Amino acid sequence: MIRFDKFTLKSQEALQAAQTHAQEKSNPQLVPEHLLWALIQQKDGVVLPVLQKLGANIQVLATELSAAVANCTLYAGEDPEDVANFFDFANSLGIEGVMMSPGYSYQHAPRQDVFLGRRKSKELFREIFKIGKKRGSKWHFNQSSMFIDFLAGNQSYQCTPWANPTYNVFGWQKPCYLLVDEGYATSFKDLIENTDWDKYGVGRNPKCDNCMAHCGYEGTAVEHTISSPLTALNVFLFGPRLDGEMAPDSE
């Protein structure tokens, strides 16, 4: 579990500022772009001078990080060219950010052949990103660079389901909004303290084996962004690696 009390004071301040910024923008989720926005507001922090040294336009970066979204869930049989066209189209409409994810293999779905496995998901994302790179497209995603790197098969992330808790009319859903048969907690405290979190995630639960959904893995990507800001910055500036070996799945 993420231990916020283990973060440096500056990191805690940045997280607080990121949360406030997300609330002010009425954004339903706290995502790494909020955090990067907060980090570049820290005049005496480490991120701002690094970006300045790299020649980044801080004003433009801050404006872009303040900005919106479309949802895009991908299934088996998608044509990478079509998806790339959609992202270009979203850009042309001025949509500020697209949130994308492979469709979760929902066990109660009447058709199971529409879901991508993890390997096929990663291959599809690499193909899509290659097309974007070739076209010189500047797509805007409402997701962290490290999550995109994960989708491209470059990160062995384990799920962090408590990072995006779901509350609905039944209560706090265990462990995430995708698993519908695990029950509900009566309070957030009950959810956090009485969910057997180790039961969930890739390699731990057959229901999780093909999942690469943002609700579970974006939290892991955020934690990685905080612990390795320069790695995240590198992916943010230059994009994910699109060739070579893929990282193994987490165990």
Closest separation between CB of residue 33 and ligand SF4, Å? 20
Closest separation between CB of residue 212 and ligand SF4, Å? 8
Nearest to 152 by CA among 137, 132, 135, 138: 132
Calculate Rg over the CA atoms of the chain: 18
Nearest to 243 by CA among 120, 127, 79, 147: 127
Nearer to ligand SF4, 125 or 200 (CB): 200
Nearer to ligand SF4, 172 or 200 (CB): 200
Contact 24, 30 (CB under 8 A): no
In this chain, which residue has its C-beta nearest to ligand SF4?
216
Site string for ligand SF4, 199-218 (x = CB under 6 A): -xx------x--x-x-xx--
184 φ, ψ (degrees, to nearest 5): -130, 150
Closest separation between CB of residue 211 and ligand SF4, Å? 3
Closest separation between CB of residue 35 and ligand SF4, Å? 20
Of 30, 35, 98, 179, the one binding ligand SF4 (CB under 6 A) is 179
Closest separation between CB of residue 150 and ligand SF4, Å? 12
Query: What six digits make up the tokens of 192?
Result: 């956090």
Q: Is 103 in the site for ligand SF4 (CB under 6 A)?
A: no
Task: Map residue 174 onto helix, strand or coil.
Answer: coil
Q: How far apart are CA 157 and CA 143, in angstroms?
A: 15
Site string for ligand SF4, 183-202 (x = CB under 6 A): -----------------xx-
Q: How far apart are CA 185 and CA 192, in angstroms?
A: 9
Q: Is 176 in the site for ligand SF4 (CB under 6 A)?
A: yes
Other Cβ atoms within 10 Å of 128 Cβ, number: 25
Query: What six digits make up the tokens of 108?
Result: 């109660």
Nearer to ligand SF4, 116 or 176 (CB): 176
Q: How far apart are CA 248 and CA 251, in angstroms?
A: 9
Residues that bind ligand SF4 (CB under 6 A): 159, 161, 175-176, 178-179, 200-201, 208, 211, 213, 215-216
